[in-house]
Amino acid sequence: MIGPFKALRRWRLRHRPFPQAWRDHLRRHLACYDRMPEDWRDRYERMVQVFVAEKHWIPAAGMAITDEVKVVIAGAACRLVLRLDLSYLDRLTEIVVYPYVYRHKDGSKGAILGEAHRWGTVVLSWPAVLAGLANPCDGHDTAVHEFAHVLDRDAGSFNGTPFLREREDYGPWARVMVAHFERLRAGAIDPALLRSYGATNAAEFFAVATEAFFERPASLQQEMPELYDVLRRFYGGDPFTYGLCPTRW
């Protein structure tokens, strides 16, 4: 539930005209944008408007946070919740953007493309976001990955299960997720379809499976129909990238 002031602010934001320059940013970077039917695109643009206005955008290391940066990151986030609701992203309040791939101070974790592990904050590398979007069929997308973590965390704990639509969804979800997680851990899944990083833990598995769902939907459906089905049920339909990417990779 959102309060009346927030609801009013959102109503006003949604009724502002969507800037043409913002459409150009979305069209240039998000393969799904042109593939959406008009009514979905309209809903998507309203969500992007609210997301851009409501989040705190924090530049790191001299990053310039332009409209393009905000619109593209908002577009990447809103595509996950397009058929859910923007409220799934309400607990996310700040987005920190780096102009390069950054590293933790202790250097132990190597290069970081993005992080969503702190409550309310997502940290993204702008070049990593762009690289993920520029290859919409390679099964790797930093923004999709980090925003999947946000959905997961929104449900209270960081365990690979977001708020599902219905109580009855939790049983099949757990069974299918655990079975595929175990298969990935055992090396029984082609890492070209599901990145082996997903074997780290249940939270990473959900984020990696979400990347495959949005970037290789047809292949995922063909190879792992049960996994595809629980994700489609949660995200509310086939991704608008369905049919874009070849089923062979």
Residues that bind Zn ion (CB under 5 A): 204, 207
For the bound state, the minimum distance from the C-beta of residue 94 to Zn ion, rounded and expressed in Å, comes to 18
For the bound state, the minimum distance from the C-beta of residue 142 to Zn ion, rounded and expressed in Å, comes to 9
For the bound state, the minimum distance from the C-beta of residue 151 to Zn ion, rounded and expressed in Å, comes to 12
Identity of the amino acid at 194: L
Residue whose beta carbon is closest to Zn ion = 207
Using CA atoms, how far residue 146 sits from 11, 29, 32, 95, 137, in Å, is 27, 17, 18, 11, 17
Using CA atoms, how far residue 118 sits from 9, 14, 73, 107, 153, in Å, is 27, 29, 18, 19, 9
For the bound state, the minimum distance from the C-beta of residue 18 to Zn ion, rounded and expressed in Å, comes to 31
Nearest to 51 by CA among 26, 29, 77: 77
How deeply is 84 buried, as exposed, middle or buried, from its count of CB atoms within 10 A (0-12, 13-18, 19+)? middle
Nearer to Zn ion, 77 or 207 (CB): 207
Note the helical H segments in 55-141.
67-81, 126-134
Nearer to Zn ion, 36 or 207 (CB): 207
Nearer to Zn ion, 136 or 198 (CB): 198
Is 95 in contact with 73 (CB distance < 8 Å)? yes
Nearer to Zn ion, 151 or 218 (CB): 151
For the bound state, the minimum distance from the C-beta of residue 184 to Zn ion, rounded and expressed in Å, comes to 14
Is 136 in contact with 215 (CB distance < 8 Å)? yes
- Tokens standing for residue 15: 């009724």
For the bound state, the minimum distance from the C-beta of residue 153 to Zn ion, rounded and expressed in Å, comes to 11
Nearer to Zn ion, 45 or 204 (CB): 204
Nearer to Zn ion, 139 or 221 (CB): 139
**Which residue's structure tokens are 């309400």?**
90
